[in-house]
Structure 1
Amino acid sequence: MEIRRATQEELDLVVELFDGYRTFYNQPYDKEGARKFIYDRMLNNESMIFLAFEEDEAIGFTQLYPTFSSVSMRKSLILNDLYVKTNARRKGVGEALINKAFEYAKEIGAKGVLLETGRENTKAQALYEKMGFTLEDNHFYYFTL
């Protein structure tokens, strides 16, 4: 398995995985919307995307967004997306992608990596806890516009 930063030349590979990720979370299939969203993130350097390959096939990805802590005056990363194709699961791909995210976070001097997942996604929760993530006690609020 190889993990590397996605390039604009690999946009189609990212879009396929990204749309799979979205449909996993019960969002409608929207290849054109996915293409525009990912292209904009790449073009504007707003996220870091890593692809996992098995031979020449892209089998998973993670997308990281920067954020900042005013209290610590340091950068953090939000591991916003993590997805592995169904036929590649249970092979350590997710773990390898998370390790790549940790490596990148250390390279840029980030304070840490934050993520969230659905309460029902217990398989992902088990992986995150195995990787050293801890469940926080903070309350998070969201205002929908």
Structure 2
Amino acid sequence: MSTIRVAKPEDIDDLAPLVDGYRQFYRQPSDPKGARRFLLQRFERQDAQLLIALNDGGSAVGFVQLFPVPSTTSLGSRWILNDLFVVPEARRAGTGSALLQAARNLAAEHGVAQLMLRTQTDNVAAQSRYQALGWQRDESFHNYLLTI
């Protein structure tokens, strides 16, 4: 079972390969320096919540990254669970579920009433995990992207 904790700037060397692996999962080219730079920005700007999963040996095996956004409709804030990644060798061992639960707990500690996420339509394994943990698929809204 993994240990989940809030990531610190000192974790960047462990997080950067995970972020790079996450990007490659989504068919982006490997860019370890870019992943490191991106993480440094998150810590400097303090614009994200980052959790890291460590295996029993203390090696980083996963992460989740959450971004706060204001919600006019709820007159509060919600967090977008933007990134969730577990290294292949640590999958199906409960690490992803533990990260999702830790994200939920962290949001509750911060008074956040709602978490949102999106996943690829063909990522059936992730979808079934989300639903098993109480996440509900939004049937009211469609996502649109505009590439600039």
Length-normalised TM-score, structure 1: 0.97
Paired residues, number: 145
- Structure 2 distance, partners of 1:92, 1:103, is 16
Residue 45 (structure 2) aligns with: 44
Return the offset for 1:74.
0.9
Partner residue, 1:86: 88
Letter in 1 for 2:123: N
Q: Using the aligned pairs only, state the percent identity.
A: 39
2:37 matches 1:32: no
Given candidates 96, 99, 108, the residue that maps to 2:98 is 96
| Gaps in structure 2 of 5+ consecutive residues | none
Q: Which segments of structure 1 move beyond 2 Å, counting only runs of 4 or more?
A: none
Aligned CA RMSD, in angstroms, stands at 0.8
2:122 corresponding residue in structure 1: 120
Kindly provide the amino acid, as one letter, of the partner of residue 126 in structure 1: S
1:107 equivalent in alignment to 2:114: no
Question: TM-score, normalization: structure 2?
Answer: 0.95
The match for 2:70 is: 68
**CA separation in 2, counterparts of 1:140 and 1:24?**
21
- What secondary structure is seen at the aligned counterpart in 1 of 2:21? helix
Structure 1: segments with no counterpart, 5+ residues: none
